[in-house]
Homo-oligomer: A and B are copies of this chain.
Amino acid sequence: MTTPAGFYETHAELLDQAVRATTVRDYWSAFPESPSKSVYGEQAAPEGERAFRALLGGPFPIEVPGAEGTVSTERSPWGLDLGVSYPKADPLALVAAARAATPAWRAVGPQGRAGVAAEIIKRINARSFELAHAVQHTTGQAFVMAFQAGGPHAQDRALEAVAYALAATTRTPRDAEWAKPQRGGDPLRLAKTSTVVGRGVSLVVGCTTFPTWNSYPGLFASLVTGNPVIVKPHPGAVLPLAITVQICREVLAEAGQSPDLVTLAVEEPGDGIAATLATHPDVRIVDFTGSSEFGNWLEANARQAVVYTEKAGLNTVVVDSTDDYKGLLRNLSFSLSLYSGQMCTTPQNILVPQSGIETDAGHRSVDEFGADLAAALDKLLGDPARAAGTLGAIVNDGVLARVTEADGAASVIRPTAAVTDETNPGATIRTPVVVRLDAADDKAYTREWFGPVSFVIATESTEHSLRVLVETVRAHGALTALVHSRNPEVLSAAREAALDAGVHLAENLTGGVFVNQTAAFSDLHGSGANPAATASLSDDHFVTGRFFTLQSRHHV
């Protein structure tokens, strides 16, 4: 057994660095994103794959409170037969076990809890290859992306949440001496103690496309601030979170804590266990990533809890002009293609003034821009093997149906096409469809078409584009916005528009940074300032609602 304090000692330097990184926000990463042998060792890749294969077709080794039967709900978008089954828990037993585990966890204090969390994340990192396969075969991401986004990038986001939680729970000193001067007498003296107390049972509801990346911040923020966590994966992407919960329980038990501080809540699709748990009086924190429909339902109905949601939005690109037209097209076509646009950050609405745009390659009309973008996509995705590595597989039938619907539009600029991946013949792979619209077609472009669907939308002017950006994002949300312009006044207006809309802005991305990607410890993901999300990953606001500070005072 290692005590929580022992784990803190082991990881104190890492935690210090992480806390410092949150205040500097330059480039900092604790977990290497390259799945290369030189970083993770010769055996990491084959061992990870073996560990993953060993899990297939059998019961996943994990205990849950109040187990009653099993469920097996996953299918790989790449066509692999998974057949993993998980024990199903009684929701009331999960909540009761979580509550019972809480007092000892409260007594550990912030540093010890951060130490345990850091140990968990380190062990998750050591299983990055196994997790990469699990993420690949539940989300449909290509392997390298599954490794990076599902592994080290998610681990960085986890550590970032730990750092914010540790900083926020230690900013008020545990002990303080208060001495108030008195006229003509000794000062009044009090000793004061501050204790961090978690808000209550925390529920993390995972999504199907980024089961680890989107769940880790809430999971670790809640845990470090003193709360037990029930992890409810999406039925389509259980395995990555089951492995995560398994590691959490292992470390917690080693630290002398109840493993039921982190439990797994699986369900058959339609069981509605998330709604049952989210409205339980003892569940006081809910983290959710997924549809606006259920996210809004949670916000309206989980009234006893603080609710953090990330939902749908209309990620928007304003194209005004550029000095690097090729770079613009290359960058944008990659953003549209990466993981088949199944990222909550993928651009959907590309606003172009009807008079066209000025570029280093001359004037381009809206139609020419659309054709150039289509050509850039064709070029990027011309080779099937490379295309599969960028596109990944379509995660579910809902996405496929939207692609098909968009492809039937009268004004398709670039139709979708099926791609055959020889390594994974069972995979469902589709290239992006691009549709030409006008600003008046807001019925079509003011709903989210999650997946490889985007619109080139002609507006009256760049000024009008910025107005559309503000209006649509204020009303429907967005996680990303991108502007291309060589005019400083337009860039300045775009910055103001993004502030008005409440969305983070990227400007003139023409190289190796893409609008869909955010880096932990530097980029905020989501803002809370528009309907797409109620908070950022991660900042003080994301952690301060998860705990209370209670004081006691007495004379000295």
Q: Which A residues fall within an 8 A CB radius of B? A: 23-27, 34, 106, 168, 171-173, 176-183, 187-188, 190, 192-195, 197, 199, 300, 303, 495, 498-499, 502-513, 519, 522-524, 527-529, 536, 539-541, 544-545, 548-555
Smallest CB-CB separation from A536: which chain B residue?
A: B549
Interface SS of chain A? mixed
Given contacts A27-B178, A176-B25, contact A540 B544 (CB under 8 A): yes
A182→B511 CA distance, assembly (Å): 12
**Minimum Cβ distance to chain B for residue A552 (Å):** 4
Task: Please state if A552 and B25 are interface contacts (CB–CB under 8 Å).
Answer: no
Smallest CB-CB separation from A195: which chain B residue?
A: B499
Task: Please state if B499 and A527 are interface contacts (CB–CB under 8 Å).
Answer: no
**Minimum Cβ distance to chain B for residue A27 (Å):** 5
**Minimum Cβ distance to chain B for residue A486 (Å):** 12
Smallest CB-CB separation from A180: which chain B residue?
A: B27
Smallest CB-CB separation from A175: which chain B residue?
A: B25
Contacts of A498 in B (CB 8 A): 550, 552
Contacts of A541 in B (CB 8 A): 544-545
Residue of A171, A503, A508 with most chain B CB atoms under a 10 A cut-off: A171
Smallest CB-CB separation from A522: which chain B residue?
A: B178
Task: Please state if B168 and A523 are interface contacts (CB–CB under 8 Å).
Answer: no
Contacts of A508 in B (CB 8 A): 554-555
Task: Please state if B179 and A506 are interface contacts (CB–CB under 8 Å).
Answer: no
Determine which of B495, B550, B554 lies in contact with A529 in the assembled complex, contact meaning CB atoms within 8 Å: B550
Smallest CB-CB separation from A300: which chain B residue?
A: B303
Task: Please state if A548 and B523 are interface contacts (CB–CB under 8 Å).
Answer: no
Task: Please state if B177 and A550 are interface contacts (CB–CB under 8 Å).
Answer: no
Determine which of B179, B504, B513, B553 lies in contact with A26 in the assembled complex, contact meaning CB atoms within 8 Å: B179
Given contacts A522-B192, A523-B192, contact A553 B507 (CB under 8 A): yes
Task: Please state if B549 and A527 are interface contacts (CB–CB under 8 Å).
Answer: yes
A-B interface, 8 closest residue pairs, ranked by CB to CB distance from nearest: A507-B554, A529-B548, A541-B544, A505-B552, A25-B176, A504-B551, A540-B544, A27-B178
Contacts of A187 in B (CB 8 A): 27
Contacts of A27 in B (CB 8 A): 178-181, 187
Task: Please state if A188 and B555 are interface contacts (CB–CB under 8 Å).
Answer: no
Task: Please state if B550 and A502 are interface contacts (CB–CB under 8 Å).
Answer: yes
Task: Please state if B553 and A506 are interface contacts (CB–CB under 8 Å).
Answer: yes
A527→B549 CA distance, assembly (Å): 7
A510→B190 CA distance, assembly (Å): 12
Contacts of A513 in B (CB 8 A): 188, 190, 553, 555
Task: Please state if B552 and A176 are interface contacts (CB–CB under 8 Å).
Answer: no
Task: Please state if B554 and A188 are interface contacts (CB–CB under 8 Å).
Answer: no
